Amino acid sequence: MVQKPMSANNDATSRICLALAQVPTGRVVTYGGLAEMAGLPRAARLVGQTLRKLPRDTTLPWHRVLNAQGRISIPEPGYQRQKSRLEAEGIVLIHGKVDLKQFLWRP
């Protein structure tokens, strides 16, 4: 596997963070959708890796990112933290799933 130069990783991280910052309250995006918004098509896994590295006290709305089925992908205790934050914004989970037809944001 070829290592990307550090600047390429930093650029991708910046693009992901900038796109994430635009997701409005009460709406969600998928990992793949966020990658597309950041100009990084087919980079959903990179989005997940980037979000995992965010500091715990970040103000970015990381909790608004879900998998393609509308489910929370992170394990406990993060699952409950993400679920609580979504519910506080009026986003409802039914059987562990968000209705993407209702809550998905497309810029």
Torsion of CA 30, 61, 51, 31, to 10 degrees: 10
Q: Give the CA dihedral 6, 8, 13, 18, nearest 10 degrees.
A: 140
Give the whole-number percent of the chain exceeding pLDDT 70: 92
**How confident is the prediction for the chain on average, in pLDDT?**
92
- In the structure, how many helices (H) and strands (E) does the chain have? 5, 4
**Under DSSP, is residue 74 helix (H, G, I), strand (E, B) or coil?**
coil
pLDDT digits (tens, 9 = 90+) for 40-60: 999 999 999 999 999 989 999
Name the band, by pLDDT with cuts 50, 70 and 90, for residue 9.
low
Q: Give the Cα separation of 13 and 26 in Å (integer).
A: 24
pTM, to two decimals: 0.89
With bands split at pLDDT 50, 70 and 90, how would you rate the model's confidence at 2?
Answer: very low
Question: Which two structure tokens, joined as six digits, stand for 69?
Answer: 């089925």
Cα Rg, the chain, nearest whole Å: 14
- Distance separating alpha carbons of residues 6 and 96, to the nearest angstrom: 37
Q: What digits encode the pLDDT tens for the residues 49-92?
A: 999 999 989 999 999 999 999 999 999 999 999 999 999 999 99
- Mean per-residue pLDDT for 15-25? 97
